[in-house]
Amino acid sequence: MRIETDILIIGSGIAGLRFAIEASRFAEVYIVTKKDKAESNTNYAQGGIASVISPDDDFELHIRDTLYAGDGLCDEKVVEFVIKEGPKEIQKLIEIGTEFSKTENGRLHLAREGGHSRNRIVHAKDLTGKEVERALLNKICQIDNIHLLENHFAIDLITEHHLKPKKLKSKKINCWGAYVFDIEKQVVHTFIAKCTLLATGGLGQAYLHTTNPPIATGDGFAMAFRAGAVIGNMEFIQFHPTALYESDSDYRSTKPAFLISEAVRGFGAKLRLKNGEEFMHKYDPRAELAPRDIVARAIDFELKKSGDKFVYLDLTFKDKEEIINNFPNIYEKCLEKNIDITKDFIPVIPAAHYACGGVVTDLNGQTSIANLFATGEVAMTGLHGANRLASNSLLEALVFSQYAAYRTEKILKEKLYNIPEGIPDWVDTGKLTTEEKILISQSRHEIRDILWDYVGIVRSNERLSRALHRCKLIHEEVKQMYHESKISEEILELRNLINVAYMIAFSASLRKESRGLHYNIDYPQKDNLNFLKPTLIQNPAVLQDF
């Protein structure tokens, strides 16, 4: 089927939905999403949204905390822009029906998280993402000119690459929509759009241990890379310090590790070694409330020293009722595993959580490809630098989605698009054998192991070179499988995962220093002279399948 529309949005998390609501004022909007409409990283967000609300807080403090966490690589004008928009975005979420937690006197309840010098996390108990996603989806369902299609998997962006003969007169690449696999009907549709938004979220599933749900296979990063967009800072992968450790978990499963929110440490919880000793004060004067890179590295160091599999998070000295009232979801989930967090220590380990890098955009979410926008976790806006401050990502998604929509309004009004004749439909002649299915699943496991072992919390030149070498081999195998197989979600995700793994390992090998989330034992110091800048990469074989 061929569908022509004003705007195509790929992804139905906070970024895609916020953009859709704004764009529906002036355009016909299609949203395609690869699974159920609510299935997204957004839906699992716990802690909340950072915003300056409290009378004892101000923009300067939030800006300072964000810059400090970002370790020299934040874009200061972006930081200022996003933080100043924060309170308005919270107000908009409230207007569309989001129910945030309140204090007894009816004000927003503000929690604390690592790296924040004030209480400024707006939240809905410990289920903030679920509540925001519910409210946004509820609003979307009331808008007639938004069409939301579940089980629709975007394969590739449509660019000059697909025209026959390839029209590559100028270096500027244009995006005219995407090829989208309809999983239920098993056919590929051609979506032709004047503007396209990538809102495909994160890539945690490229790592063996992650807090991210199975949808987070980095599809948007890979699609943009293949199309020739500029991609930045892929080496800065954030590891959340406290994912629940489960001794019986199937390590091959794509099921995410359950997160124990940073708000639990903000509430006063202590990290302890297996023998009960506290250790964070040895690493940072802010102890448990130091930024995530510091806490995750400290845990990693202690685990390597002791040989233990986990450390403990201890809340047992806090009031039982307050614990249950603030963290009902964490309390229930842990209880299912026979851990009563009001009485027992919680076993925790770090897990891959968030991609600070991504598709490079300007203040309007515009990428280096004409009429292609990227917002949310897939984008690199300059807000996070070398390390994201807790709860700044939902905020970033809201602000940039709104401004990207403003920009597309101008593009549509002024007709700043030029969709060519002759965009072909997709042809799929491949077959999928049982043997290929097995190989696809094994390659996926290999990639997750490679990134975890060689491009994890602590890196070295030797480990990075191994990772790159192995990624190249797997890429060759996947490329062949992809060209010979029938289209399936499995082969598409594998193709994206190997693209993303390569980008992370390659970017990490370019940064010969340690900064923020990137720690290389061969270069333990910061090198401001050579590396006080983002790592930018672009597919060397633009318009070929990497």
Active site residues: 292
How many residues form the binding site for ligand FAD (CB under 6 A)? 43
Q: Which C-beta is closer to ligand FAD: that of 363 or that of 416?
A: 363
Q: Which C-beta is closer to ligand FAD: that of 181 or that of 310?
A: 181
Stretch that binds ligand SIN, among 165-173, 261-269, 299-307, 460-468 (CB under 6 A): 261-269
> Looking only at Cα atoms, what is the longest distance across the chain?
70
329 alpha-carbon distance from chain centroid: 22
> How many helices, marked H, and strands, marked E, lie in the chain?
14, 18
Q: Which C-beta is closer to ligand SIN: that of 45 or that of 405?
A: 45
The amino acid present at 475, given as its one-letter code, is: H
For residues 263 and 326, what is the distance between their CA atoms, to the nearest angstrom?
9
CB of 123 vs ligand FAD, minimal distance in Å: 7
Question: Each residue of 60-75: b (16+ CB within 10 Å) or e?
Answer: ebbbebbbbbbbebbb
| Residue (of 21, 14, 8) closest to 40 by Cα position | 14
Kindly identify the residues of this chain, within the stretch 5-34, that bind ligand FAD according to CB under 6 A. 10-16, 32-34
Cα angle 481, 487, 492 (rounded to 5 degrees) comes to 70
The amino acid present at 245, given as its one-letter code, is: Y
Kindly identify the residues of this chain, within the stretch 481-500, that bind ligand SIN according to CB under 6 A. none
Stretch that binds ligand FAD, among 277-285, 299-307, 389-397, 537-545 (CB under 6 A): 389-397
Structure tokens at 185: 């009907």
Among 5, 6, 29, 41, binds ligand FAD (CB under 6 A): 41
Kindly identify the residues of this chain, within the stretch 135-154, that bind ligand FAD according to CB under 6 A. 153-154
Q: Considering CB distances under 5 to 8 angstroms, the limit depending on partner class, which of ligand SIN, ligand FAD, none binds residue 114?
A: none
**89 sits near ligand FAD (criterion: CB under 6 A):** no
For residues 326 and 312, what is the distance between their CA atoms, to the nearest angstrom?
20
Answer for the pair 394, 375: CB distance below 8 angstroms, yes or no. no
Answer for the pair 47, 394: CB distance below 8 angstroms, yes or no. no
Among 101, 128, 205, 361, binds ligand FAD (CB under 6 A): 128
Kindly identify the residues of this chain, within the stretch 173-232, that bind ligand FAD according to CB under 6 A. 199-202, 211-212, 215, 219
Residues found in the chain: 546
Answer for the pair 247, 308: CB distance below 8 angstroms, yes or no. no
Answer for the pair 232, 272: CB distance below 8 angstroms, yes or no. no
Residue in the shown chain whose Cβ atom is closest to ligand SIN: 47
Kindly identify the residues of this chain, within the stretch 336-395, that bind ligand SIN according to CB under 6 A. 354, 390-391, 393
Kindly identify the residues of this chain, within the stretch 101-120, that bind ligand FAD according to CB under 6 A. none
Structure tokens at 224: 């943009």
Q: Considering CB distances under 5 to 8 angstroms, the limit depending on partner class, which of ligand FAD, ligand SIN, none binds residue 42?
A: ligand FAD
Structure tokens at 271: 């990290």
**314 sits near ligand SIN (criterion: CB under 6 A):** no
Stretch that binds ligand SIN, among 257-265, 408-416, 452-460, 504-512 (CB under 6 A): 257-265
Q: Which C-beta is closer to ligand SIN: that of 5 or that of 261?
A: 261
Q: Which residues contact 67 (CB under 8 A, 6 or more apart)?
A: 74, 76, 79, 385
Residues of this chain that bind ligand FAD (CB under 6 A): 10-16, 32-35, 39-42, 44-49, 128-129, 153-154, 199-202, 211-212, 215, 219, 259, 354, 376-378, 391-394, 397
Residues of this chain that bind ligand SIN (CB under 6 A): 46-47, 261-263, 354, 390-391, 393
